[in-house]
């Protein structure tokens, strides 16, 4: 698979899969399961990251931090979608900002304890409509789209961290915790020494605090890889109206589909949203008609193709 000038071979795909299992896994552990040297793994990682093909980012659980999570849909004139996407992406409380539907819609995720996107955006410049959908917590596991077949079950088990300890207790972060999170938002694999300089903590304190935040589920790590790098050319947002009694079972069914990268239950005229990534339009057609079409609880479906990603998980996209 080619992304720019980078070709992802079996070792690259194995590395990406390993980082999806644990974003901060030691390269020595990856080397062991892949049967290559640690130097090879480190060199491959640096090459992919420098090329913009691979990025590991830390994402804090906004709900645990007392924030509300929203998905904002902004319908706008074709000639202002780029300006609007840049304005939304430029806010520190937004992530995963995309231009959809051929350039007539901007969609962004917001984690905030304030009124979301009420100010600071150019609302008077070609905006045709706005809707806000609050993301509601669901009991289903999130999907993990990506090269999930590069490693076998035994290899994954050797790399996996113990599961986070579930808790609804509000997390309290101080100023140094926030500097730690900011550093990991920029580079999820920053060293303890680098994080120590940001926080003023010793490396051992950084290690203990980071482990605590991960064990308690406050902090998780995500791997950003352009779908094109894995041979997938079509991405779309699915907005569904699902019978309330079928919401959980429908969400669980979607998360099991390899094409799905995101699922959430929301408020609003639609109540279930998903992100689908496919090799081509023909695959998307089959997925919608055969997979989504077989879900009895789905009453209506709106499909919005992704034109461009302006911002990923706290990181600007290549055009952002």
Backbone angles phi, psi at 81, to 5 degrees: -65, -35
Strands 68-76 and 6-7: unpaired
Q: Is 283 a member of any domain?
A: yes
User: The tokens of 132 are what?
Assistant: 């806000």
With tokens 């079972």, the residue in question is 249
Q: Is 203 a member of any domain?
A: no
pLDDT tens by residue, 1-43: 444 546 789 999 999 999 999 999 999 999 999 999 999 999 9
Q: What is the CATH number of the domain that holds 158?
A: 1.10.10.10
- Is the same domain home to 154 and 27? yes
Which of these ranges, 76-90, 141-155, 278-292, has the smallest mean pLDDT? 141-155
3-state per-residue secondary structure call for the chain? CEECCEECCHHHHHHHHHHHHCCCCCHHHHHHHHCCCHHHHHHHHHHHHHCCCCEEEEEECCCCCCCEEEEEEEEECHHHHHHHHHHHHCCCCEEEEEEEHHHCEEEEEEEECCCCCCCCCCCCCCEEEEEEEEEECCCCCCCCCCCCCCCCHHHHHHHCCCCCCCCCCCCCCCHHHHHHHHHHHHCCCCCHHHHHHHHCCCHHHHHHHHHHHHHCCCEEEEEECCHHHHCCCEEEEEEEEECHHHHHHHHHHHHCCCCEEEEEEECCCCCEEEEEEECCHHHHHHHHHHHHHHCCCEEEEEEEEEEEEEECCCCECCCC
Q: Is 85 a member of any domain?
A: no
Q: What is the model's pLDDT at position 165?
A: 84
Q: What percent of the chain has pLDDT over 70?
A: 90
Q: Is 103 a member of any domain?
A: no
Domain extent for 260: 233-306
Q: What is the model's pLDDT at position 138?
A: 77
d(CA 278, CA 160) in angstroms, rounded, equals: 27
Q: What percent of the chain has pLDDT over 90?
A: 69
- Is the same domain home to 161 and 287? no
- Is the same domain home to 159 and 264? no
d(CA 218, CA 173) in angstroms, rounded, equals: 10
- Is the same domain home to 48 and 152? yes
Q: What is the CATH number of the domain that holds 280?
A: 3.30.70.920
Q: Is 219 a member of any domain?
A: no
Segment 253-270 mean pLDDT: 94
Q: What is the model's pLDDT at position 164?
A: 85
Q: Is 261 a member of any domain?
A: yes
Q: Is 258 a member of any domain?
A: yes
Contact 95, 109 (CB under 8 A): yes
d(CA 254, CA 242) in angstroms, rounded, equals: 12
Residue 143 scores a pLDDT above 90? no
Segment 132-137 mean pLDDT: 91
Q: Is 119 a member of any domain?
A: no
- Is the same domain home to 8 and 154? yes
Number of domains in the chain: 2
Residue 255 scores a pLDDT above 70? yes
- Is the same domain home to 286 and 154? no
User: The tokens of 134 are what?
Assistant: 């609050």
- The closest alpha carbon to 283, from 264, 304, 266, 258, belongs to 258
Please, which pLDDT band fits residue 139 given cuts at 50, 70 and 90?
low
- Is the same domain home to 46 and 151? yes
- Is the same domain home to 155 and 302? no
pLDDT tens by residue, 206-222: 999 999 999 999 999 99
């Amino acid at each position: 698979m080619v992304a720019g000038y980078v070709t992802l071979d079996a070792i690259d795909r194995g590395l990406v899969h390993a980082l999806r299992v644990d974003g901060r896994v030691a390269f020595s552990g990856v080397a062991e399961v892949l049967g290559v040297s640690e130097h090879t793994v480190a060199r491959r990682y640096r090459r992919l990251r420098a090329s913009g093909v691979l990025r590991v980012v830390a994402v804090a659980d906004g709900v645990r931090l007392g924030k509300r999570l929203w998905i904002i849909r902004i319908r706008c004139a074709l000639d202002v979608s780029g300006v609007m996407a840049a304005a939304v992406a430029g806010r520190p409380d937004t992530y995963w900002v995309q231009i959809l539907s051929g350039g007539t819609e901007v969609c962004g995720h917001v984690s905030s304890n304030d009124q979301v996107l009420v100010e600071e955006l150019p609302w008077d410049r070609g905006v045709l409509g706005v809707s806000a959908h609050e993301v509601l917590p669901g009991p289903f596991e999130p999907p993990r789209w990506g090269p999930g077949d590069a490693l076998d079950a035994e290899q994954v088990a050797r790399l996996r961290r113990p599961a986070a300890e579930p808790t609804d207790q509000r997390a309290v972060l101080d100023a140094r915790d926030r500097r730690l999170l900011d550093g990991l938002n920029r580079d999820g694999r920053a060293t303890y020494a680098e994080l120590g300089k940001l926080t003023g903590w010793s490396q051992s304190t950084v290690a203990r605090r980071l482990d605590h935040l991960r064990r308690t589920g406050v902090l998780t790590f995500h791997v950003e890889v352009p779908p094109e790098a894995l041979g997938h050319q079509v991405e779309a947002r699915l907005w569904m109206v699902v019978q309330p009694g079928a919401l959980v079972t429908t969400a669980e069914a979607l998360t099991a589909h390899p094409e799905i990268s995101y699922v959430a239950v929301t408020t609003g005229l639609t109540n279930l949203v998903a992100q689908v990534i496919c090799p081509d339009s023909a695959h998307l057609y089959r997925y919608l008609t055969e997979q989504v079409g077989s879900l009895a609880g789905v009453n209506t479906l709106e499909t919005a193709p992704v034109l461009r990603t302006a911002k990923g998980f706290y990181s600007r996209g290549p055009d952002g």
